[in-house]
Amino acid sequence: MASANPVNIPLVKDTISREEIIALSDWLRSFPRLTKGDLTLEFEKKWSEWQGCKYSVFVNSGSSANLLMFYALLLSGRLKNKNIIVPAVSWVTTVAPAIQFGLDPIVCDCDPETLGLDIAHLGKLVDEHDPAAIILVHVLGFPNKMDEIAAICKDRDIILLEDSCESLGSLYKGVKTGNFGSMSSFSLYFGHHLSTIEGGMICTDDGELRDLLISLRSHGWDRDLPPARQSELRSRYGIDDFRALYTFYHPGFNVRSTDLQAFLGLEQLKKADTVVENRNGNFLAYDSTIKNFQYKVRQAEGTLVSNFCYPLITEKRDELVAELARAGVDSRPLVCGSIARHPFWYERYGRTELPFADIVHDHGMYIPNNHEMTSAEIEYVANVVNSVL
């Protein structure tokens, strides 16, 4: 099935509306502070309220959020060893910080039911390696099996990190993803659930980690820390207020975002619930319209999938990709496939066979979802898929 005049259904759409651009331009004409300032603090506060966590730290990307989570763990002294379990189906900047900071990543297969960590393989790896930490990804908005993962972490004294960059607003037994681990990351890049053009957020309930993240975000100084924490550091190291302006307590980064991005973020949060509702509705519409194929990832009981894009795993992938292109519909591989099949991994760690992640790598893809998709567009895309499968 190919249309004579193909429509254009992009994989994602920019969530920043015309009205938000007009509001931004009006704000800019007031000549406000553009670098990180009060709007960033307001955005972090309101994000925490919406997410249901104590603290949020705004950074310049979801990748930087992952970078800071790893580094904060390393500098906190909480890691009992260098072993960290990482998900096979993920993203390069979910895994790369472990390598960059000299940790020892161990790759875990993915679960056919959730695309997250495979519980049986995870248990085997935990027994073999006694890891200090686990990072998971809620792939395309599907929550991992959090009861089982949380039990493993509690039983074995393992720190849990969540990459929630594709799962804003997804629920597991009424709790939003990103609220199960010591820290979680979110992406505010173009095409994600919400966008600040570029941007990311780290969430935590741990005040000590929050202070460390804030310092690491800006060079390693104390300038943005709460006054009591500033006084403690300055007293400990004998730093006066003048010298403190350029005193660095940690070898930090500069991964701040700006108040311009925070302005957009505050506008975006106003529609967060609608975005989540629409993406879930689109997912359910796809699920009920697209016929069965090799594997079908469903919304599990007790969860809500704030779907980033709709996954397909089929041996007819190449044929389907070509047909979708002829019909004017974007598609992509199912995230990275298996991270163990990428040169950066196997040239360092060798070839690793992971049964289901390899299937995802060879046969996985995804098709468009965004909060503005119409029922007619979903039906059109589903019909193209059904014509091949």
The span from the CA of 389 to the CA of 386, in Å, is 5
Among candidate residues 283, 365, 305, 293, the one with its CA nearest the CA of residue 329: 365
Answer for the pair 89, 363: CB distance below 8 angstroms, yes or no: no
The span from the CA of 338 to the CA of 119, in Å, is 17
Answer for the pair 110, 118: CB distance below 8 angstroms, yes or no: yes
**CB environment 73-100: b (16+ within 10 A), e (fewer):** bbbeeebeeebbbbbbbbbebbbbbbbe
Q: Where are the alpha helices (DSSP H) in the chain?
A: 18-28, 38-51, 62-76, 92-100, 119-129, 146-156, 207-217, 227-237, 259-269, 272-289, 317-326, 343-349, 355-363, 375-388
8-state DSSP, 243: G
Answer for the pair 138, 170: CB distance below 8 angstroms, yes or no: yes
**Which residue bears the tokens 């429509």?**
7
Residues in the chain: 389
DSSP-based three-state secondary structure for 304: strand
Phi-psi region of 172 (alpha: psi -120 to 50; beta: other; left: phi over 0): beta
> Based on C-alpha coordinates, what's the Rg of the chain?
22
Active site residues: 192
